[in-house]
A = this chain, B = another copy of it.
Amino acid sequence: MIENRTAYALLGFLTWRPMSGYDLKQAVAGSVGNFWSESYGQIYPMLRRLAEEGWITSRPAEDAGRRARHVHRITAAGREALHEWLCAPATETPPRIELLLKLFFGDEVPLSVGRSHVEAARARTVESLYRYRAIAGKLRDSHADDPRLPFWRLTLDYGIGSMQARIEWCDRALEELRRLAEACEDGPRRGEAGRNRPAVSQPEKEGIRCAEYD
């Protein structure tokens, strides 16, 4: 049993057709790229390992021309391993969201900083949403009777839902940041020009602990 999930991602794509390492990289980026990625640094060593395991067979492509090309093909054992992994519960790993980390410490910098981060995020998200919708249209046309289409649609729908929710959050966040800015103008405790807090405001005594966030 290989733990590494790269193994199963590769096996999954090799059920589509035999592929080279390069093909696999392309296939991953061009399909699941929005929620999964694989780098060459993972792919090539893993292909060797999969071959050792007997889950794929690898041999040089007979079509001369291109540079040495190794074609990898899933075996019955490999397919079985893939199925076993697919049936095992999915593990959830919370992502690292840099935007939120910067916002979390937003009190350290002018309010305009948070605003511009959220605005940039909103623009990127809108772009993604349009892209996902375009893909949905293309998929419907090109793979109308493909039995895999419904599954692909599910993952795409996840992306669309996420992007919509993110745009709505961006709008709420921008509104809130504007509200905070207005509050500053009334009571001049904060200003856009300077920082919200003095550069050095460390409590001298180490014993002072502020309550945790939760």
A residues engaging B (CB < 8 A)? Answer: 5, 8-9, 12, 15-18, 26-27, 30-37, 61, 71, 73-74, 76, 79-80, 82-83, 85-87, 89-109, 113-114, 117, 120-121, 124, 135, 138-139, 142-143, 147-148, 150-155, 157-158, 161-162, 164-166, 168-169, 172-173, 176-177, 180, 190, 195-197, 199-200, 202-203, 206, 208-214
Contact = CB atoms under 8 A, between A and B. Distances in A.
A25 B61 CA distance: 51
Given A98-B90, A109-B87, A212-B31, A206 B135 contact: no
A107 B147 CA distance: 7
A83 to B, nearest CB: 6
Given A12-B108, A97-B158, 4 more contacts: A5-B101, A18-B206, A87-B113, A103-B151
Nearest to A95: B95
Contacts of A214: 30-31, 135, 138-139
Given A93-B96, A120-B90, A139-B213, A105 B35 contact: no
